[in-house]
Amino acid sequence: MSNIRSPEDPTVFEYAALRVVPRVERGEAMNVGVVVYCRALDYLGCRTHLNERRLLALDPSLDLKGVGAALKAVDAVCCGGERAGQAARESPGTRFRWLTAPRSTIVQPGPVHAGLTEDPKAELDRLLHLLVK
């Protein structure tokens, strides 16, 4: 029996929704993105989609530019490289764990879930449509 994986073999991936919680004290949230990590394929990716009208319905005074900046920071950490700052030196798995650590800011990760996939990038697109759009 060979330990070599075929590219078509499903592999485990993890994901978390990113949500905006405009007013933590009210507990209302709206999903705005997804982060996907697949250790076996060394993949870490994120996608976001802001429905500004829906967000402003939750809180008309919400700082949309601040939310956008926070989501750009998530994308930078996800992509690595110079834009990621100190996180650039970390492995994709470490960056995923940092991105999905609980926090009480306006942009928060949801719980981490797992699944099987042959293509984590396609899974990211599927989850964005399922959980956000």
Helix, coil or strand: residue 109: strand
Residue 89 has what pLDDT?
82
Residue 84 has what pLDDT?
72
pLDDT band (50, 70, 90) for residue 105? confident
pLDDT band (50, 70, 90) for residue 122? very high
Interval 85-96 mean pLDDT: 86
Interval 63-67 mean pLDDT: 94
Residue 8 has what pLDDT?
65
Q: Which residue has the higher pLDDT, 7 or 43?
A: 43
pLDDT band (50, 70, 90) for residue 2? very low
- Look at strands 107-109 and 113-117 and give their pairing: unpaired
The pTM of the whole model exceeds 0.85: yes
Cβ contacts of 45 within 8 Å, gap of 6 or more: 35, 36, 78, 120, 121, 124
Write out the two tokens for 31: 């999903």
Question: Is residue 133 over pLDDT 70?
Answer: yes
8 A C-beta contact, residue 72 and residue 50 = no
- For 77-88, what is each residue's pLDDT tens digit? 988 877 777 777
Specify the amino acid at residue 116. L
